[in-house]
Structure 1
Amino acid sequence: MARKYSEKAQEKVGEVMHEFKRGKLKSGSGKKVTNPKQAIAIGLSEARKKGSKVAPRAKPER
């Protein structure tokens, strides 16, 4: 079952994916992002900072 995010969060991820596909997306360290999953994670993170309805980050299992 796919997760459902708010419209604003979906728009933000769409913008980030557009940057990723054009090769313009950079990570926090300044390196170019080459993994689409990483691009989605960046988009969701930016949406969270803006206050959009997004599920909290998954905690890694030990």
Structure 2
Amino acid sequence: MDARQDDRWSQDVTDRSDALDLEGDVFTWDDPARIAASLKRSAEASDRRKGSAYRSAMSMLTFYMNRAGSQLTDERRDVLERAKGELRAAFGRD
């Protein structure tokens, strides 16, 4: 698989996750609490996820961050890391 196909594969997973129906551009938002709330809503509404809502939401966020890798700016990575903290709090997992 070349890099271009790899990019399309990860974008496809983000866009059409079999476990979660994500709001458009959720990972580009600047408010970590808004990102976390959206992921929580998506995970709780899903009847296709295999694990808990918390695990599905956190896995999708982590997947996105890992796939973006070095292409994430420090500012974007910080927002997404803070979204992880917000997600933990939203699920009572401080």
TM superposition score normalised by structure 2: 0.30
Larger Rg: 2
Tell which has more relative contact order, 1 or 2 (C-alpha 8 A, sep 6+): 1
| TM-score (ref. length: structure 1) | 0.41
